[in-house]
Structures are given as C-alpha cells and as structure tokens.
Amino acid sequence: MADGIPTGRVRRGGRLGLLAAGEVVRGVGIRLSTITATEEARQILAERSTLRTAQQLVTVLGGMKGAAMKFGQILSVLDLDLVPESHRELFRTKLAELRDRAPAAPFATMRAVMEEELGPLARVFADVDETPIAAASVGQVYRARLRDGRAVAVKVQYPGIDDAIAADLRNLELLSNLWRSMLPSAADDAVLAEIARNLDRELDYPAEALTQHRIATRYRDHPFITIPDSVAPYCTRRVLVTEFVDGHPFGHMRDLPSAERDRIGELIYRFYLTSLFVDHEFCGDPHPGNILLAADGRLAFVDFGLYNHMDPAHVEFERACLRAAAEGRGDDLYRAWVGRGIIDPNSEVDASECLDYVRAAAGWHLVDEHLTVTPELATTAVILAVDPRAALFQRMRQQSLPPEHVFSRRADLFTFATIGQLGAGNNWHRIAREWLYDETPVTEVGRAIAAWRDRQPIRVPDGHQ
C-alpha cells in the first residue's frame, strides 16, 4: 500500500467484494423496512439509504482510485434502479463527488511526487495552492503560478497508482460483480474490460502532454471552444502542467437558462462526437468533470489521457451503418454487421431487429425533431447498447462489437449521458447530418464553426500522436 491507496490485488479485491455484498444486503433491508412504514417514514428511510449508499461508494471507490473510481464516475451520469426514482438525483449528486470533489490525498504526499519529478518547487512555481481543485482517478490537480507569472493547473499522479491499476486489471471479475450489483442488466464484462484495458493509458503523461498541445493548437481562436495548452518544459512521467482555465464547473451549467444549456449541449456534441467523423479522432472520456464554462463564455475541455485515433475505414463503417439506420435500410445494415462479424448469420437475428436496435441505442442522431435529452432517456440508451439481452432485443445474443468500435461507441453513449445530465435539447439529427451526409450546418453555432474552419490552414486528418 502506497500513501493510503491499496495497491495489492487482495486488498483492492476485498474492498470491492465487501462493497458489492453490502449493497445486496442493504437492498433486502430497505425492501423489508418499507413494507409497513408510513409514507413519511418511507421517504426518510429512502433518503437516508440513498445517502449511505452513495457515501459508501464515494468513500470506498474514491479511496481506491484507479479503475474502481472510474467506475463510480460513470455511475454518476446514469439513472439507475439502484435507488427509488424520487431519490436518484440525490444519489447522482453525491456520486458526482468522484468527478468534482473525490477524497483527496494529503498535499505532502503529492508534493513529494512533484519534487521527485521537477526538483524543488520554488525553482518552478512562484506559489502552489495546497488544496486540490480536482481529484481524478489517477491523480490530483492543483492550481499554481509559474515563476514567469502564468497561472497553471498541475496534475500529479498518486503514488502507487500504477500498481493499483494493475491490481484492478487482475481483479476484473470482482469489479464486474460490483457492476452487476449496481446495474443488473449489464450481463457481460465487455464494457468493464474496455475501461480497465484503457485506464493505463491515462498514466502516460508525456503522451497526454503532446496530445493536449496538438488539440489546443487545433482549437486556437475557436469561437466557442477552448483547450488549455500543455506547458512542455514541466511535463514529466508523473506530472502534467497545463494552462489554467478560470471557469465554472458543470453543476453551474445545469442551473443556466434552457437556451444556454441547449447551446452548451450542442458544443459538447460537436467536440466529443463530430470530431470523430471530421478528424478521425475523439476524446474517449466524456463526463461532466472534464467540462468547464470559461470566463470568456467559451466551453473548455480538459483531460486528454484517453484521446483516441480511429482508422478512417472504421469511421466510414460506423457512418454507413448509421446512414442505413436513418434511411430504414435494415437489410443493408444486417449485411454490414454480418460482414464485420458483429452478427452470426446462423442466429435468429434479422434485419428488422438490427434496425430497431440501432434506432434504440443511437436514435438521437437519427430522429429529425427537437429532442430534450434527460438522464432517464440517456440511461435507457446505455443499457440497451451494453446489454440488449436484458431488454427488448432478446435474439441479439450473438452480438459481438469488434474491439476497434468499442471505444467510439462508449464515447457516443457517455456523451449522450453527459448531455442528459445537462438537460439540453436540440434537433441532434440536423447537427449529425453535417457528418452523416456532408451537409452545411443549419444551426447558428454550426455556421460560425464552419466559417472558422474555412479560415484554418488545410490539413489532412490523421490523428496520430
């Protein structure tokens, strides 16, 4: 164990097992206790249970960091049956601490890492605020000021986090059991395995610094989006220094008027999803903790540890499948899926079921009408996508998403979930037609971005880091 983070497989596995077991027992107790309770008493019991459950998750998963904490962050944007509907918002708010105020390691612990990487802090920084502004799954972020006066954000890895992630990878079965205790319909390990496999990429701060610089350069002078650049001389194996964004967190955005939330939702959609089809690369970790409303009104995106390049041929396959679904060409969709090995031709799955499945899981791109995304709507799409066997599509047991599409589909689903937390509305299909059919933008935001792009130097999208 290193500085409070359990790193061994047995210790981390034990915590996960106890948490999952406790959830089952607590669920039974809640059901029994509410049989004879008055309505007022039931409300009190439900609220107390919700807070206890969420607090236990924050404490256990936040203290473990690594893949376990990433799991809790994902739960915070879903609308699960784990708690009564009347208390789900309370539950999500508490879990949001894993994005915004996760249990912090002492500054002395993190300072030791910073000095091992950068030498005495006084040589680099004029001052460092010892209170972290964010605590993520692999590190904490501090506000600081360089000796030249620039305000910066300093992301520092937890000591022993590499060993902790390795233990989580070995404990995948236990982590999967925890997932099932929270979301019973997630019947296989594919989603969880994908998260665990890619989490170690977040430890590669030198690669992240290069990626962030490249994306910051791309979005320089963008009318609506800003990316803080990395400060290369002070980026090392375990410390990442970037420009500081002075802005409001996601919780502030949720309280804005609906028109402003709709505008922000469109920018989130364009940054996380349109970039895949335009630039053949995308940020694979969409969640509210990575989005800030900057002081100048632009939307800032941070955390590029999971920025992913996708082969243009695979991008075109996804585009073709979504176009087939949008146009009702079930037979073409079915043949494409059989050809890629997604569907076993000897199974009972037919073209109609393939079409219905895509419309259910990705229908927000396809419905030509204004759609306000709610947490309930987004969660339904996630559940249908990750485990169709548990819901309406009983015959899709042979579905096997190829590895090259797992990450992009996850980005799609959790962008939907993030916009659901915002409660933003739009005709998402009209925005999607820009990359589905290469049509000109119809929204004011889209037209302004297109004009900005036209002024940029011509480049060939490659996405390689």
Same domain, 230 and 128: yes
Residue 21's pLDDT is 36
The three-class DSSP label of residue 145 is: strand
Asked whether the predicted pLDDT for residue 128 surpasses 60, the reply is yes
**What is the chain's mean pLDDT, rounded?**
76
pLDDT, mean of residues 71-87: 51
How far apart are the C-alpha atoms of 290 and 98, rounded to whole Å? 12
Is residue 2 in a domain? Answer: no
Residue 370's pLDDT is 94
Residues 197, 203: contact at Cβ < 8 Å?
Answer: no
How far apart are the C-alpha atoms of 327 and 335, rounded to whole Å? 15
What are the tokens at 449?
Answer: 């971005």
Annotated catalytic residue within 163, 285, 356, 387: 285
Residues 205, 235: contact at Cβ < 8 Å?
Answer: yes
**What's the Cα-to-Cα distance from 329 to each of 256, 326, 340, 364, 437, rounded to whole Å?**
40, 8, 17, 17, 16
How far apart are the C-alpha atoms of 34 and 46, rounded to whole Å? 9
Is residue 162 in a domain? Answer: no
∠ CA 442-448-452, rounded to 5°: 130
Query: 262 — phi, psi (to 5°)?
Result: -65, -40
Is residue 122 in a domain? Answer: yes
Same domain, 253 and 345: yes
pLDDT, mean of residues 88-103: 53
HSE (side-chain half, CA atoms, 13 Å) at 313: 2
Classify residue 212 by its DSSP letter: H
What are the tokens at 6?
Answer: 């359990």
The confidence band for 421, taking pLDDT boundaries of 50, 70 and 90, is confident
Classify residue 423 by its DSSP letter: T
Same domain, 347 and 297: yes
pLDDT per residue as tens digits for the range 261-277: 999 999 999 999 999 99
pTM of the complete model:
0.74
Same domain, 75 and 47: yes
Residues 156, 238: contact at Cβ < 8 Å?
Answer: yes
Sequence-separated (6 or more) residues with CB below 8 Å from residue 444: none
Neighbours of 40 (CB within 10 A): 8
HSE (side-chain half, CA atoms, 13 Å) at 450: 13
Most confident of 3-12, 382-391, 416-425, 433-442: 433-442
Is residue 371 in a domain? Answer: yes
At 48, the amino acid letter reads R
Sequence-separated (6 or more) residues with CB below 8 Å from residue 211: 304, 307, 465
Comparing 320 with 8, which gets the higher pLDDT?
320
Residues 411, 74: contact at Cβ < 8 Å?
Answer: no
How far apart are the C-alpha atoms of 48 and 34, rounded to whole Å? 13
Is residue 4 in a domain? Answer: no
Query: 52 — phi, psi (to 5°)?
Result: -65, -45
Asked whether the predicted pLDDT for residue 78 surpasses 90, the reply is no
Helix residue ranges per DSSP H, 204-285: 205-218, 250-254, 258-269, 275-279
Q: How far apart are the first and last CA of the chain?
A: 34
Same domain, 116 and 237: yes
Least confident of 126-140, 235-249, 258-272: 126-140
Q: What is the CATH number of the domain that holds 218?
A: 3.30.200.20
Same domain, 430 and 463: yes
Asked whether the predicted pLDDT for residue 74 surpasses 60, the reply is no
Number of domain units in the chain: 3
Same domain, 264 and 340: yes
Residues 206, 237: contact at Cβ < 8 Å?
Answer: yes
Classify residue 272 by its DSSP letter: I
Same domain, 364 and 324: yes
Asked whether the predicted pLDDT for residue 447 surpasses 90, the reply is yes
285 has catalytic annotation: yes
Is residue 1 in a domain? Answer: no
Same domain, 406 and 426: yes
Same domain, 395 and 298: yes
How many contiguous H segments (helices) and E segments (strands) does the chain have? 20, 13
Same domain, 75 and 185: yes
How far apart are the C-alpha atoms of 275 and 281, rounded to whole Å? 6
Same domain, 85 and 115: no
Classify residue 183 by its DSSP letter: -
Is residue 128 in a domain? Answer: yes
Which structural domain range is residue 226 located in?
106-157+204-244
Least confident of 79-88, 213-222, 309-318, 355-364: 79-88
Comparing 431 with 158, which gets the higher pLDDT?
431
Classify residue 290 by its DSSP letter: G
